[in-house]
Structure 1
């Protein structure tokens, strides 16, 4: 990715429709905004994944090409597939990093050990819902968690290991403004195209998760959806609400409203109908994302540690016993 973007920065083809569209693109094009360079790179990777351009494929991993060969192949692809790439960047990047499920698995075991109830899952900003399937993944730390699975997560783990329990997921559902159907070839392509082309392990892991995915998703504003989800009749189960690097992109007003909704729902929680809210999100610390768990009844806030944004490492600092 670094090599690709550097050569494009030095040799950008101004004579393409793509360049004209980029020049007039409104808003923040940086990673904190529309991530325009990522959109372009994703479109090029999509061509490789579809074998639409032999020259570009030959310059991409696992092949090794010089900067000059990479530049020649990329410039040719930008001209040949100008219409495709111009349309591609209209849509925002969308990923579903499966390695973040390591934290979800650990948290679910921690909660089950403490509460012992079946779990109802609600994911905010679920993308394609791959991380709603975390109980079907294997976390290969300590003695291992979960079933043997084609999706195996092996983060660098520091700190204590969570307790071993038998998870029961009673209900799972997610929401996204633009949910992707991983069974649809176009949506599956979009998920994979935004993974770095030289990270084959991530591609294979995502493909394996797509094959397991049966999560149900709704297309709606996440906080509006959450209000309905919290208002549903209560049963004897733990409601675990979570987001992984999604909440931070919600408008502040929606964040405030969502927090108020969970505070109100938490105030009504009982030992038979507890509520947990896990946040795996950026904060002021640049070292990965903060892992914060709020738990009701009791309105407890627990700091579980930190994790890499892509789940490559987890610094687990959860208490051995919950309040």
Structure 2
């Protein structure tokens, strides 16, 4: 049965899908832009999938509902269980009517699969953001001349934990790192670029996530790849290479609440001659307000105990009031000074250094 188009999407949810459509277009995925627009215009409540979306109990934009829905459809297309949908997805090219017919059929036949996929927020673990992390870490290394103990929250499969093991093409002849891991990242740096010769050494790596993913598991690979927009082949190849690299590395992500984890790790005094660094990228918007408040307080408390020979740092790339890019900020204690290092693309295509 093909869903009717007579029941309008709840206005707020409809707007969120249309906003996501525009964002996907701006971020280089015209196909996912089309999927989000078609869902906004034509989805009804005649399926469990449609009903759950239309009656979403939370804030659909904050909960990344459009990306959950698009991820579920992409996962189904990759599975081969819905041949018509697979045939309508890249690398195939079809018109909107053919694409919607395939989506509508998939909703009817695979309603339970698609509805279940809405349970979890996207875990994109965008590897290209490592270029922004590298720049922030180089700034920190240049400022302190110390090795870094790294603590990352919202780490998913931990792919950005290995940022210093990857090879980078940073534009205008700038390069950093090694091809030994098979992960090559192209990110355009502009502005006052970080010093590529800074003495960067990662002394230890720690990470947590509420739902950490095992990089060696097939189901992890498929889930992460489902959130990569299907017309972005370079992102898919980069993700696959990073999964293999981190699986070999032995780095692992703890299952933990971010606030509990930060409070536990940053309550302990630092090590002399080492920078203790909290890191996160595009995580803050997904944290409940109380969790964010506790992390901020824990870092401020840790900062009061920091010394010049055992500093504490906080590096983050997160959205702010400036639309379209994330603010890259570094706070370093014992002074507690916060610097706006630059602005980064959400998918890691560029960083404009301040």
TM-score normalised by the chain length of structure 1: 0.91
- Is 2:69 aligned against 1:40? yes
Structure 2 runs not aligned, ≥5 long:
1-31
Q: 1:230 and 2:230 equivalent?
A: no
Q: After TM superposition, give the deviation of residue 258 of structure 1 in Å.
A: 1.8
2:190 is the alignment partner of 1:153: no
Give the SS at the match of 2:56. coil
Distance in structure 2 (CA, Å) of the matches to 1:241 and 1:195: 26
Match of 2:130 in 1: 101
Q: 1:35 to 1:114 in 2, by over 3 A?
A: closer
Q: 2:235 aligned with 1:202, yes or no? A: yes
Quote the Cα distance in structure 2 between the aligned partners of 1:9 and 1:253: 32
Q: Aligned pair in 2 of structure 1 residues 110, 6: CA closer, same or farther (>3 Å)?
A: closer
**Alignment of structure 1 residues 14-33 onto 2, 5 Å:** 14-29=45-60, 31-32=61-62
Corresponding position of 2:341? 304
2: CA distance between counterparts of 1:222 and 1:96? 16
SS at match of 1:216: coil
Report what 1:242 is aligned to. Answer: 279
In 2, Cα distance between equivalents of 1:260 and 1:13:
44
Instruction: Find out whether 1:51 has 2:83 as its counterpart.
Output: no
CA contact under 8 A between 2:277 and 2:313: conserved in structure 1? yes
Of the three residues 158, 162, 170, the one matched with 2:194 is 162
Give the C-alpha shift of residue 14 in structure 1.
4.3
Instruction: Name the CA distance, whole Å, in 1 between partners of 2:353 and 2:321.
Output: 19
- 2:70 & 2:156 partners in 1: Cα distance? 20
Partner of 2:9: none
Cα deviation, residue 134, structure 1: 0.4
Moved more, 299-308 or 17-26: 17-26
> How many pairs are equivalent?
315
Given that residues 145 and 199 in structure 2 are in contact (C-alpha distance below 8 angstroms), is that contact kept between their aligned partners in structure 1?
A: no
Match for residue 329 of structure 2? 292
> 1:257-303, CA deviations, whole angstroms, 9 ceiling, x for partnerless residues?
22222122122222331111112111111141111111122222211
Equivalent in the alignment of 1:140:
169
1:257 corresponding residue in structure 2: 294
User: In the alignment, which residue of structure 2 is the partner of 1:114?
Assistant: 143
Task: Give 1:18 shift.
Answer: 1.9
* CA shift in 2, pair 1:6/1:231, >3 Å: closer
Q: Which consecutive unaligned segments of at least 5 residues does structure 1 have?
A: 318-323
| Rounded Cα–Cα distance in structure 2 between residues aligned with 1:278 and 1:268 | 18
Distance 1:158 1:237, change over 3 A: same
Quote the offset at 1:197 in angstroms: 0.9
2:309 pairs, out of 249, 266, 272, with 272
Q: How far is the alpha carbon of 1:250 from its aligned partner?
A: 2.1
Aligned residue for 1:320?
none
Contact in 2 for aligned 1:14/1:20 (Cα 8 Å): yes
TM-score, length of structure 2 as denominator length: 0.83
Closer, same or farther: CA 17–301 of 1 in aligned 2, 3 Å: closer
Tell me the equivalent position of 1:321: none
